[in-house]
Amino acid sequence: MQRIPDRNFDGLVTPTKLHRSLYTDPDIFELEMQRIWGQAWIFIGHDSQVPNPGDYFTTNINHNIPVVMIRDKDHRVHVLHNRCGHKGAKVVEARSGNVRGALRCSYHGWSYRFDGSILKIPNEAGYEGTGFDAKDPCYSMQPLAQVQAYRGFVFATLSPNAPDLETWMGGARECFDNLCDRAPEGEVEVAGGVLRYEHACNWKFILENLNDTMHPMVVHESIVKAAEQYIATLPADAAKERSEAEIIPPFGASYENFENSGITGFDFGHHYDGGKTSIHADYSVDPDYHGAMLAAYGEDRTREIYAFNTHNVCFYPSLTIKCAIQNIRVIRPISVDRFIVETWSFRLKGAPDSMLQRTLLYSRLINSSMGMVGPDDLEVYRRTQEGLASPSNDWVEFHRQYGRDTELDDRIIGGGTSDLDMRTQYKAWKGYMDGSLFAQYAAGS
Amino acid sequence: MIDRQKIEDFLYQEARLLDQPDLDTWMTLFTDDGVYWIPGKENQTDPLNHISHVYDDRVMMEIRRRNFVHPRSASKDWNVRCSHIIGNIRANEVTEPAGAIEVTSNQHVVVWYRDEQRVYAYRGIHVLIPADDSFKIRSKRVNLINAEAPQQSLTIYL
């Protein structure tokens, strides 16, 4: 393995600033892949992507380690290293599909059961008496160190020392509950395909931007103004009830609005803004959907589900979800200055099609590489990536409302325009990088 | 009777407006109920229940063309210039809507943006409505050959 010089992480991250090399140094990127992406629970996919035995979905768990999520004949979902136990070829090449019978390597025909164990090696007699043992797990398609799911969302980790998934998610798992509870049947499923968006900058910028509420009114001013200018040309009696008219204007919400939405941080770097309110809180409610919700949950519980309204929920470092929109974005780094964002949309089971259509409208309008919000975000990330080459100041600051965060039992809360989200994720960043974050769990294992 | 010369002239006129680009004039080529669509996958049949890169009606075109020239859109600080080459044009009369002509073409677009030159290739499907000795676009579908691939920011219609 590549030997990467270690770092003094106290010298790179302080409570109010971090060193610019975090975005530009390829060695730090390699360390992040080993220590953050190699330890944290990484989102792999949703179990609705593999509904039937033999259905599979492939991805990388970090910048280059290939894995496959597959459902076995007993309907259990596995996440396996996508590497043949023989010569090492990737066994599954397509992004998704179904294999009948067994996984089969295209090189020498070794085949595997859906749990990764060897089913058959062609002309196996040649191994007799050689000391080769087909039952040795090292010759199987090995499962990831740990694989767990929460309400259908499948995570895996390369670390045997990671705490269980629910402990790791902490209080942020309430956001998965809220996303799923918004379905009259209490379950969601992936629907409507995926958008992949290439970002020519460091992967951390998007996580920092999710709950950076000081940027929307600046970066997204143009789309709000363009929409306002168009609406101003319409006759007074023109119909204006379009979903776009609910989605676009909140991007220009005031500092006060965002301050009131609040930010909540958790152990292991997770954070969200909103809760009592967010930029998605004032969407109208489809009457058919509302009827289905009332029938399923009754009035009080339905109102309670609607009332928990978050903007972006970051499960550091690989996933961000929008409960009120029902879409998620999945992050995959490529190199120190390149990553891919995937936007997946979800159907609320038991809800009318109009709900999925609104989710897809949002994904298309806001998150598409040809949308009217995403490209402006990416443009400022790229300018930051390029600007940080300047030696004029080695530090990036995040002082906003420092010292005013409130620590509760399982979370930290603060003002919606604070840098609490930055403090939260970079505390975890340092804990992963210096090895302290999972140390207590390793000791107990 | 299909007048191929008129159809070609119309496609070249549209391409010229996108090359410049002049979105204000370009969008007047569409009917009031016209739509512009870049599907998210091959052979996509449904623009509403499956994700697309773009699916704009005239209202969204109205907003997008204003955003395109807005001084506070950082991604638009970079000029974008395009060069469309159109070939393999085929035209057929269709019955829905009445009198319409469906025109398919292969389009290669070289895009200059952010100091980079990129190539997009697509099969275009225009549904044209005869109007005033020319046409209006009822729908334009852009079937990118790499619709499922990771895409870079694109600030212009193709």
Q: How far apart are CA A108 and CA A124, in angstroms?
A: 11
Name residue, tokens 């990764």: A116
Q: Quick one: A74 exposed, middle or buried, by C-beta within 10 A (0-12, 13-18, 19+)?
A: exposed
Q: Locate the chain A residue with the closest alpha carbon to B146.
A: A196
- Residue at B81 is within a domain: yes
Indicate the number of domains in chain B.
1
Is A301's pLDDT higher than 50? yes
Residue range A59-82: average pLDDT?
A: 98
The C-alpha atoms of residue B68 and residue A29 are separated, in whole angstroms, by 35
Within a domain: B153? no
Tokens of A239: 């119909």
Q: Is residue B154 part of a domain?
A: no
Tell me the C-alpha distance between A321 and A275, whole Å: 13
**A226/B70 Cβ within 8 A:** yes
Are B36 and B56 in contact by the 8 Å Cβ rule? The answer is yes
B108/chain A closest Cα distance in angstroms: 18
pLDDT digits (tens, 9 = 90+) for A371-403: 999 999 999 999 999 999 999 999 999 999 999
pLDDT tens column, A415-430: 999 999 999 999 999 9
Span of A36-45, A188-197, A204-213, A271-280 with lowest mean pLDDT: A271-280
* pLDDT reading at A406 higher than 50: yes
Choosing among 3.30.465.10, 3.30.830.10, 3.90.380.10, 3.30.110.30, the CATH entry for A171-444 is 3.90.380.10
Q: What percent of chain A has pLDDT over 90?
A: 89
- Domain membership flag for residue B62: yes
Give residue B41's domain range. 4-144
Q: How many CB pairs under 8 A join A and B?
A: 110
Mean pLDDT of chain A: 95
Report helix, strand or coil for A6: coil
- What does the alpha-carbon distance between residue A59 and residue A318 come to, in Å, rounded to a whole number? 12
ipTM, two decimals, is 0.96
Distances (CA, A) of B134 to A76, A370, B9: 60, 30, 9
**What distance in Å separates the CA atoms of residue A329 and residue A126, rounded to the nearest whole number?**
48
- For chain A, the distance separating the N- and C-terminal CA atoms, rounded to the nearest angstrom, is 26
Residue type, B103: V
Average of pLDDT values for A300-319? Answer: 96
* CA dihedral for A15, A16, A18, A23, sign (positive or negative): positive
Identify the sign of the CA torsion A401, A404, A407, A408. Answer: negative
Q: Report H helices in A220-333.
A: 221-232, 244-247, 255-261, 287-307
User: Does some domain include residue B130?
Assistant: yes
**Phi and psi, residue A46, nearest 5°:** -105, 145
Percentage of the residues of chain A whose pLDDT score is greater than 70: 98
Q: In this structure, are residues B36 and B61 in contact, taking their beta carbons and an 8 Å threshold?
A: yes
Set of chain B residues whose Cβ sits within 8 Å of the Cβ of A227: 63
Which of A222, A363, A379 is the closest to B67 by Cβ?
A222
Kindly report which listed range (A153-157, A284-288, A315-319) carries the lowest average pLDDT score: A284-288
How far is C-alpha B114 from the geometric centre of its chain's CA atoms? 21
pLDDT tens digits, B11-39: 999 999 999 999 999 999 999 999 999 99
pLDDT digits (tens, 9 = 90+) for B66-89: 999 999 999 999 999 999 999 999
pLDDT value at residue A5:
67
In the structure encoding, which two tokens stand for residue A261, read together?
């939405």
Whether the per-residue pLDDT at A241 is higher than 80: the answer is no
In chain A, domain spans: 42-150, 171-444
Distances (CA, A) of A427 to A82, A206, A311, A336: 32, 17, 22, 20
pTM of the model: 0.96
Q: Outline where DSSP puts E strands in B40-133.
A: 52-57, 81-93, 101-113, 116-131
Q: A19 — phi, psi (to 5°)? A: -80, 140
B113, closest residue in chain A (CA to CA)? A379
Q: What is the enclosing helix (H) or strand (E) of B132?
A: none
Distance from C-alpha of A316 to C-alpha of A40, rounded to nearest angstrom = 8
Is residue A257 within 8 A of residue A311, CB to CB? The reply is no
pLDDT level of residue A2 (50, 70, 90 thresholds): low
| Cβ contact B152–A200 (<8 Å) | yes
To test the contact with chain B by mutation, choose from A220, A230, A354 the residue with the greatest count of B C-beta atoms within 10 A, namely: A230
Give the phi and the psi of residue A338 in degrees, each rounded to 5: -160, 135
CB contact residues (below 8 A), chain A span 166-195, against chain B: 191-195
Across the strands, what pairs with A96?
Answer: A57
- Provide φ and ψ at A159, rounded to 5°: -105, 125
- Whether residue A158 lies within 8 A of chain B, CB to CB, comes out as no
Helix (H, G, I), strand (E, B) or coil at A30: helix
Q: Which amino acid would we find at residue A422?
A: M
By the 8 A CB rule, do A369 and A375 touch? yes
Nearest-angstrom CA–CA distance, A260 and A276: 9
Residues in a beta bridge with B52:
B39
Please identify which residue in the block is written with the tokens 């009754």: A298
pLDDT tens-digit series, residues A356-375: 999 999 999 999 999 999 99
Mean pLDDT score, B106-113: 98
Q: How confident is the model at residue A445 (pLDDT cuts 50, 70, 90)?
A: very low
Q: At what angle do helices A420-433 and A26-35 cross, to 10 degrees?
A: 80
CATH domain A42-150 topology? Rieske Iron-sulfur Protein (2.102.10)
Contact A280, A311 (CB under 8 A): yes
Q: Report yes or no: B146 at the A interface, CB cutoff 8 Å.
A: no
Residue of A nearest to B77 (CA): A379
- Chain A residues close to B49, C-beta within 8 Å: 191-192, 353, 356-357, 360
Burial environment of residue A369 by CB neighbours within 10 A (0 to 12, 13 to 18, 19 or more): buried
User: Using CA atoms, how far apart are residues B152 and A197, in angstroms rounded to an integer?
Assistant: 6
In a domain, B151, yes or no: no
CA distance A222 to B76: 10
- Contacts (Cβ under 8 Å, ≥6 apart) of B22: none
Query: Which pLDDT score, from 0 to 100, does residue A387 have?
Result: 97
Token duo for residue A340: 């891919």
The strand order across the sheet containing A103-104 reads A103-104, A111-112, A118-120
Minimal Cα–Cα distance from A330 to chain B, Å? 13
* pLDDT of residue A305 exceeding 60: yes
The two three-digit tokens of residue A386, written as one number: 């390029």
Q: Which of A372, A373, A381 to mutate to test binding with chain B, by most B CBs within 10 Å of its CB?
A: A372
| Structure tokens, B1 | 């009777």
Report the residue count for chain A.
445
CA distance A431 to A272: 20
User: What's the pLDDT tens digit per position in A143-181?
Assistant: 999 999 999 999 999 999 999 999 999 999 999 999 999
pLDDT at A3: 59
Do the beta carbons of residue A92 and residue A56 sit within 8 Å?
Answer: yes
CATH code (residue B55): 3.10.450.50
Residue B55 placed within a domain: yes
Q: How far apart are CA A165 and CA A40, in angstroms?
A: 10
Determine the distance in angstroms separating the CA of A426 from the nearest CA of chain B, rounded to an integer: 27
